[in-house]
């Protein structure tokens, strides 16, 4: 199960993927968040590649 979490976090680190997830889950697919509006921020734990 740990491998799935790592894969998810890596996938969500792409701004276009994260924007699609947020728009789909929170805004019923309406594109309110664009990938170019997102910035990297600090996290509790950082995954090494």
| 44 pLDDT higher than 70 | no
Q: Find how far residue 30's CA is from the centre of its chain.
A: 17
DSSP state of 13: T
Domain boundaries, the chain: 10-34
Q: How confident is the model at residue 2 (pLDDT cuts 50, 70, 90)?
A: low
Give SS3 for 5.
helix
Distance in angstroms (rounded) separating the CA atoms of residues 24 and 10: 19
Mean pLDDT of 13-41: 93
């Amino acid at each position: 199960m740990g491998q799935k979490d790592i894969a998810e976090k890596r996938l969500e680190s792409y701004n276009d993927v994260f924007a699609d997830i947020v728009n789909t889950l929170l805004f019923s697919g309406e594109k309110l968040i664009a990938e170019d509006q997102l910035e990297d921020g600090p996290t509790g734990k950082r995954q090494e590649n």
